[in-house]
Amino acid sequence: MSPNMYWIVMYIITAVVMLFQLRTLLQSSGADYYHPFSQAVTKLTNPLVNVPVWRNVRAGHFWLAGFIVALVVALVAWLVIGLLMLQIPIFFSLLGGVFLFTKSLGYLIICLLLAQALCSWLPATREWSFLFAQTTAPITAPVQRLIPPIGMIDISLMVVLIAIYALNSLIYKLFSVLSYDLMMLWRIV
């Protein structure tokens, strides 16, 4: 498989994983169910999320079915990619699936926060900004309690973004100290 084809496959897998993670965030945050975007995500993910085995799995107020499906998709995809294409040991293939799940959740949160910030500046996109704010509220609310908005400026989005980037960098540096293989796996996922 050519390197370009590998990256195309990885982008598609990451998009599917992020779709199921988005379903979990929308469902758990109580975002507007009747918004067309929420409806589209729900209809795309319903066949796999509504499997009776994990449909009602929750941790407090947080619905986990979408996360379970996203993790299964990431693990299966990385087992196929790792064992057949990259020919790496099964442990690293499974670890690649966990890394893909973790990094795609970070990317999803970053995209939602940036979309929320951009939509809040344009009057015609207020309903989108409200939907993104509802979706990211469980993540930004603890920061807003520590650092309340300053006038009309809410810096909690920036704090969460910086925290995600710092966490990614910290994990990368930790893996570079522990093992070159872990560092490379974190990097290519």
Query: Which residues have C-beta within 8 Å of that of residue 113, sequence separation ≥ 6?
Result: 132, 136, 140, 157, 160, 161
Look at the block and give the residue holding tokens 């020919």.
Answer: 87
- For residues 116 and 133, is the Cβ–Cβ distance under 8 A? yes
d(CA 107, CA 167): 12
Please tell me the number of Cα atoms within 13 Å of 113 on its side-chain side.
Answer: 23
Q: Coil, strand, or helix at residue 31?
A: coil
Please state the pTM of the whole predicted model: 0.91
d(CA 156, CA 134): 14
Q: Which tokens hold the place of 177?
A: 């100290």
- What is the per-residue pLDDT for 126? 86
Phi, psi (rounded to 5 degrees) for 122: -110, 120
- What is the per-residue pLDDT for 1? 62
Residues of the chain with pLDDT under 70: 1
Which neighbouring-strand residues pair with 153?
A: 150
Handedness of CA 83, 76, 165, 8 (dihedral sign): positive
- What is the per-residue pLDDT for 24? 94
- For residues 50 and 110, is the Cβ–Cβ distance under 8 A? no
Please tell me the number of Cα atoms within 13 Å of 76 on its side-chain side.
Answer: 9
